[in-house]
Amino acid sequence: MKPRRVVSRRLALLMAFAACAAAGAQKLTVAAAADLRFALDELATQYRAAHPEVDLAITYGSSGNFFAQIQNGAPFDVFLSADVDYPQRLIAAGLASQDSLFLYGVGRIVVWVPAGSPLDPAALGIHLLEAASVRHIAIANPQHAPYGRAAVAAMRSLGVYDRVSPKLVLGENIGQAFEFVESGAAEAGIVALSLALKPAGRGHGRYWEVPQEAYPKIEQGGVILSRAPAGPAAQFRAFLLSAEARRILKQYGFSVPQ
Amino acid sequence: MDWQAIVLSLRLALSTTLVLQVVGMPLAWWVAFSRRRWKFLVEAVVALPLVLPPTVLGFYVLIAIGPRSPVGALYARLTGGLLPFSFAGLLVASVLYSMPFTVQPMAAAFGSVDRKLLEAAWCLGVSRASTFRRVVMPLARQGIATAAILSFAHTVGEFGVVLMVGGNIAGVTRTVSISIYDQTQSLDYNGAWHTSLLLVAFSFVVLAVTYSWQRRAWMLWPPH
């Protein structure tokens, strides 16, 4: 046999294997708001264990960022936003169907300081932000992150915004705002409770929960995009709304809609 | 159009270029003429920003200049200020990030100066500093100018590092590239379009002028 034919046979075999593998695993790509990082990581572990046939890939970022990307054809199947506005606008744009919209949790925000901070959030509340030793306050960019908008709304309604706004530094999403504080570069931040409760970080930082009346409710909605394969996407949504998933979301500080 | 961001970017680029001219020149001289065995290590460190993703550089710079690091703590003691999220912090990051764009063209220019001329100057009793000023600088001026232009342009085009360490403060750390990013993320395509177009035009003019000027210089003084 000529060497070239051996190669082409091997190639054919390889391609056949690849085709089988592709048919076996269904791919499901999820774009998720950055506040979900720790909660969804845990949820994904459970989901993968229950559905080994689905190849689940999650990308975290700011909701506004994903919204812009999806509008421009980003290949996501499910979008878990940190609000309901972006999903609704995708429905209006014809990129997702109305009946695919679902509410999976209500987010909460906290004033958060890193482990070594001398400031006590429980005692100072929102006025911690006004302390002289706090030179920078990290929040998510309100232009495209719902948690950033909630943080600004809370500071306004609690009457500290005008005094502390010169100290604000903006993370590209809530995850970066969290990182700014965790790295010590910013002395305090207003972040998602779900991040302040991160598993390894429990007890590493301290927080004060901003009263929920101080900012518009952070209802977090998801949609299945029209391009998604029917089976796994619907199944993933059902999983997120299951009792077990709700328990995990609750554990990470989300209020769960009934 | 976000003129505040455009002005800030120009200010940052100009400051970075000036700092690099001062810091980079002796370093380039050393790289060009040192006979140390471990010179390659220094060369590799200087060239690192060419290959490292800006995220890596930005992440380390943020930690390195933060109040918990010795550098950040020292800066806080000396100036009472903090480096992260400040113009000074951005300048530190930009200087590191654009270092190879200054050192490499300068070192190449210094290295191509005929050693016989240097030795002749020394034999005539001209001091090393004076030799540098009167012999090396004029012969290497094209490389020095290239270094300045490349560092300036590279800093204007910087995005990842600024995103990582800047904190997006209007007038302080929101450079033009961050402003464009914000505009696209908030679906202000009109604004993004205008600012981007300006940046494309600016970069094109800078590079076109550089190349045309280099060609003319080359034709006036052909290599021996």
> Read out DSSP for A39-84?
HHHHHHHHHHHH-TTEEEEEEEE-HHHHHHHHHTT---SEEE-SSS
pLDDT tens column, A146-186 = 999 999 999 999 999 999 999 999 998 898 999 899 888 89
B190–chain A Cβ distance below 8 A for any pair: no
Q: Are the folds of A3-106+217-251 and A108-214 the same?
A: yes
User: Which residue is listed with tokens 């464009």?
Assistant: B180
Which of A141, A144, A169 has the CB atom closest to B85's CB atom? A169
Dist CA A86 CA A170 (whole Å): 20
pLDDT tens column, B46-63 = 999 999 999 899 889 888
User: Which residue is listed with tokens 């972006």?
Assistant: A86
Q: Answer whether residue B32 is part of any domain.
A: no
Nearest to B46 by CA among B26, B61, B24, B64: B24
Measured between beta carbons, the chain A residues lying within 8 angstroms of B165 are 185
Query: What local confidence, expressed as pLDDT, does residue A24 receive?
Result: 59
Give yes or no for a contact between A128 and A113, defined as CB atoms under 8 angstroms apart: yes
Could you say which DSSP state residue A128 is in? Answer: G
Average the pLDDT over B72-90 and give the result: 87
Query: What local confidence, expressed as pLDDT, does residue A241 receive?
Result: 94
Dist CA A201 CA A206 (whole Å): 10
Phi/psi of residue A56, nearest 5 degrees: -90, 125
The CATH number of the structural domain formed by A3-106+217-251 is 3.40.190.10
Phi/psi of residue A65, nearest 5 degrees: -60, -50
CA of A144 vs chain B CAs: smallest distance (Å) = 6
Fold classified for A108-214:
D-Maltodextrin-Binding Protein; domain 2 (3.40.190)
Average the pLDDT over B43-47 and give the result: 92
Q: Answer whether residue B154 is part of any domain.
A: yes
Nearest to A217 by CA among A254, A258, A171: A254
Q: Answer whether residue B42 is part of any domain.
A: no
pLDDT class of A32 with cuts at 50, 70, 90: very high
DSSP H or E stretch at residue A124 = helix A121-124
CATH number at residue B201: 1.10.3720.10
Dist CA A178 CA A62 (whole Å): 13
Q: Answer whether residue B181 is part of any domain.
A: yes
Q: Kind of pairing, strands A78-80 and A102-107? A: unpaired
Tell me the one-letter amino acid at B135.
V
Q: Do A65 and B85 touch (CB under 8 A)?
A: no
Q: Answer whether residue B69 is part of any domain.
A: yes
Nearest to B148 by CA among B71, B70, B206: B206
Measured between beta carbons, the chain A residues lying within 8 angstroms of B186 are 64, 143-144
Measured between beta carbons, the chain B residues lying within 8 angstroms of A172 are 163, 168
Q: How many domains does chain B have?
A: 1
Q: Answer whether residue B195 is part of any domain.
A: yes
Q: Do A170 and B168 touch (CB under 8 A)?
A: yes
Q: Answer whether residue B131 is part of any domain.
A: no
Dist CA A243 CA B19 (whole Å): 60
Domain locations in chain A as residue ranges: 3-106+217-251, 108-214
Nearest to A139 by CA among A159, A123, A120, A155: A155
pLDDT tens column, B105-145 = 999 999 999 889 988 988 998 888 888 888 888 999 888 99
What is the ipTM score, two decimals? 0.71
User: Which residue is listed with tokens 């904190």?
Assistant: B167
pLDDT tens column, A206-225 = 899 999 999 999 999 999 99
Q: How far is CA A6 from the centre of its chain?
A: 49
Domain membership of residue B191 as a residue range: 3-21+47-101+140-220
- Residue B202's alpha-carbon distances to B75, B156, B177, B180, B190, in angstroms, are 35, 10, 13, 15, 19
Q: What is the mean pLDDT of chain A?
A: 87
Q: Answer whether residue B185 is part of any domain.
A: yes
Residues in chain B: 224
